[in-house]
Structure 1
Amino acid sequence: MANMIETLLNRHLHALRPYESARRLFSGGQDWLNANESPYANTYDLDASTFNRYPDCQPEAVINGYANYAGVKKEQVITTRGADEGIELLIRTFCTPGEDNILICPPTYGMYAISAETCNVGIKSVPLKADFSLDVNAICQQDDVNLVFICSPNNPTGTLVDADDIRQILTHFRDKAIVVVDEAYIEFASDVGWAREIDNYPNLVVLRTLSKAFALAGIRCGFTLANENIIAFLMKVIAPYPVPAPVAQIASQALSSRGIELVQSQVAQLNQQRASLASAIEENAELEIIGSANANFILFRCEQKDALMQYLVENGMLIRDQSKQPGLSNCLRATVGNDAQQKRLIDLITTFFTDRRAA
């Protein structure tokens, strides 16, 4: 049986390594600061009277709510099962398996590459510069790509991409490729993002999500924003019922005026927590903050990374090891949490280094 399954498996999947999500890496922990989730758990009302019916493919209340929030037309919005499905939809729609390529700029979000590999689409890689800015000249030399993925603020470096760099890339690829700006963390940055530029750049796509600032990672609801022509093609490929009815109900409430006010208040609190966490990390001589603080996490370098990570895991404190990414040797990423979580993280780090010095 095992040999038969191996024989039937798509050839290009034999060497595929799945994305190591936070829940795949660790099945338990006391404090989850490894997946960039919000520490807030907001409450919502549900009406089960329609749960016996298939949901709308694109729930009107959700589409209109996000269009108003993002400042775009409703025809320029498609909602998906998280932004991850948006990434896969773009690759499946605009790349021919075994022929076409995407472009990524590591260190960056891992699902761009995983989705491409799953679809048997090639990957061109142009690493970020030492300061984590885009290598625009090198990117523009890659003319055999269909999609260019740019994460801003970038995960895991927390850096915002320079607006002039994005404009230059959009202009260069205007008649060649689609440029995808992933703004999963845009609410945490002092930046308005690129959604309102869609009418000015026909090859611009913006990815958004309710997972981070909206504290709704568990419902898997994301958005792809683009001109109507791109949205129409994505609608050809999307699953018939991508948004479950409970998800649509929660999302529409989160996108109400009251819901957005709550998000803005919680983001302001998290940004204060982020500054507090950064300050505490900077006070430790063994740690060095890397990148910038434009998201809901802090990236830092620790020469004793493996020992510190093991110590934290043993004590139920889960953060994320990013050292496998280019340019991020010995780097760890900690999600911004609540007061108690951050105090416990810093206390554990302090105890770890105190004990090491004593030993």
Structure 2
Amino acid sequence: MSLTQLARTRVQQLTPYQSARRIGGQGHVWLNANEAADSGQFSLNCERLNRYPECQPPQVIERYAAYAGLAPEQVLVSRGGDEGIELLIRTFCEPGRDSILICPPTYGMYAISAETNGVNVVEVPLTDSRQPDFDAIIARLGEVKLVFLCSPNNPTGDLVDRAGLLRLLNAAKGRALVVVDEAYIEFCPEHSQADLLAEFDELVIIRTLSKAFGLAGIRCGFTLACPEVIGLLLKVIAPYPVPDPVAQIAAQALSEEGLLLMRQRVDEINQLKAELAEELLQHPQVNEVFAPNGNYLLVRFTPGSDMFARMSRAGIILRDFASRPGLADCIRITIGSRAEMDAVRDVLQKEQ
């Protein structure tokens, strides 16, 4: 008997999430994972590495709460935003009975986490204007425990319409949680929905240090919610989820100096993004440049496969989304350093 047969049936049937690192590629300019071009410098104190870390490091919690304008009781830190997604599903969904709702095309880990935990996935595709179909979502609230919305949406970059979100939150009262994934919100902070946490206990927000803070390598994310939801997640989270070196780096990143460096990085990325978007809009092979709200641009080329291959031959690794619904010929370009953007520009300017 194959050892595979010992695994849960659902696990045997799973297709793993195709992360940028898993897909890989051959090149020297990596613009496929929405990573920052730099991380900054941090110091480590190794005196307590012989001790288990705090489950919720107080300094990290307090600093993130201050940054987000919340009380510490509204913040949970985890191994990246992905663990926050997983915790919500494990805490609120009964395997084999409950469902989550997603709005494709969107971030793939919502569905993967649900499927891994034996939770069903209800899909309500984005509208033609790439907004959640709020009427259709509200009509299905009785079927689901969690609604996942990504804003800015990965990969399209669109922001969730606030009026529609308010309608959904009012309809979800006492029925379901609405999770807004704000992994990229630092690139457009004026569009955060975090202020609605004071009004709606059903709202949960996912955040991360991976993007604007340039710390994808330490795997540090945050769940923002009412104290009741945070208390439930603390029942499920692992006893030592945040290694001490991670907590030290996160606390430094959330210091006054660290926040200043993050905002400088955001300003630079947004400037490079605007320059690239302007050039792309003039390119004869570009049909569409999607909403520029994250640290990336999703671009529809004619044809996408040709541009992807040309970039690859130049050693530039991008992310192809052509297989996703509604995203034929679409390629996502992470905004890297100026030198990396110049490399992209060189390929764009060359004759086919």
Q: Aligned AA for 2:290?
A: G
CA drift at 1:105: 0.5
Give the drift of 1:228: 0.6
CA displacement, residues 291-335 of structure 1 (integer Å, 9 cap, x when unaligned) = 311111111111222232223223220111111221111100001
Letter in 1 for 2:172: F
> Which residue number in structure 1 is paired with residue 307 of structure 2?
308
Cα distance in 2, alignment partners of residues 257 and 204 from structure 1? 28
Partner of 2:70: 72
Shift, 1:290, TM fit: 3.6
Give identity over the alignment, percent: 48
CA deviations over 1:208-238 (Å, ceiling 9, x no partner): 0000010100100000000011001100110
Give the letter for the 1:84 counterpart.
Answer: D
1:202 aligns with 2:201: yes
1:96 is matched by which residue type in structure 2? Answer: E
| Aligned residue among 91, 98, 115 for 1:117 | 115
Amino acid at match of 2:85: I
Structure 2 match to 1:285? 284
Instruction: Determine which of 87, 92, 104 is the counterpart of 2:102.
Output: 104
* Structure 2 counterpart of 1:298: 297
Q: Which amino acid aligns with 1:148?
A: V
Counterpart for residue 91 of structure 1: 89
Cα distance in 1 for residues equivalent to 2:34 and 2:325 = 20
- Is the counterpart of residue 158 in structure 1 residue 157 in structure 2? yes
Instruction: Please report the RMSD computed on the Cα atoms of aligned residues, expressed in angstroms.
Output: 1.1
For residue 289 of structure 1, report the CA deviation from its aligned partner. Answer: 2.8
Query: Residue 152 of structure 2: SS of its match in structure 1?
Result: coil
Secondary structure of 2:235's partner?
Answer: helix
> Across the two proteins, how many residue pairs are aligned to each other?
351
2: CA distance between counterparts of 1:199 and 1:281?
41
Instruction: Report the CA distance between 1:349 and its aligned residue.
Output: 2.8
Structure 1 residue runs of 5 or longer lacking an equivalent are none
Q: Does the 8 A contact of 1:281 with 1:288 survive in 2? A: no
The 5-angstrom pairing of residues 159-238 of structure 1 reads: 159-189=158-188, 191-238=190-237
Residue range with higher mean Cα deviation, 187-196 or 110-119: 187-196
Q: CA deviation at 1:134?
A: 1.5
Distance in 1 between residues matched to 2:197 and 2:243, nearest whole Å: 28
CA deviation after TM superposition for structure 1 residue 350, in Å: 2.7
Measured after TM superposition, the shift of residue 190 of structure 1 is: 5.1
Does residue 1:345 correspond to 2:344, yes or no?
yes
Greater CA deviation, 222-231 or 322-331?
322-331
CA distance in 2, matches of 1:256, 1:104: 35
CA distance in 2: counterparts of 1:40 and 1:7, whole angstroms = 44
Aligned counterparts of 1:327 and 1:47: Cα–Cα separation in 2 = 49
- AA in 1 matched with 2:319: R
Is residue 278–residue 289 contact of structure 1 (8 Å, CA) maintained in 2?
Answer: no
CA distance in 2, matches of 1:307, 1:294: 26
Instruction: Quote the residue 1:36 is aligned against.
Output: 34
Task: Give the Cα–Cα distance (whole angstroms) in 2 for the partners of residues 44 and 29 of structure 1.
Answer: 28
Q: Does the residue aligned with 1:133 lie in a helix, a strand or coil? A: coil
| 5+ long unaligned stretches in structure 2 | none
Aligned to 1:55: 53
- Give the Å deviation of 1:111: 0.4
Counterpart of 2:52 in 1: which secondary structure? Answer: coil
Q: Residue 104 of structure 2: SS of its match in structure 1? A: coil
2:190 counterpart SS class? coil
Contact in 2 for aligned 1:106/1:126 (Cα 8 Å): yes
* CA offsets 1:86-136 (integer angstroms, 9 cap, x no match): 000000000000100000001110000010111110000000111101211
Contact 1:303 1:330 in 2 (8 A): yes
Q: Counterpart amino acid of 1:115?
A: S
Secondary structure, aligned partner of 1:45: coil
Kept after mapping to 1: 8 A contact 2:26/2:312: no
Identify the range of structure 1 (324-333 vs 301-310) with the bigger mean alpha-carbon deviation: 301-310
TM-score (norm 2): 0.97
Residue 127 of structure 2 corresponds to 129
TM-score by length of 1: 0.96
**Distance in 1 of aligned mates of 2:189 and 2:221:** 21
Among 136, 139, 144, the residue aligned to 1:138: 136
Whole-angstrom CA distance in 2 between matches of 1:244 and 1:333: 32
Alignment-derived partner of residue 5 in structure 2: 7
CA distance in 2, matches of 1:246, 1:113: 30
2:328 paired residue number: 329
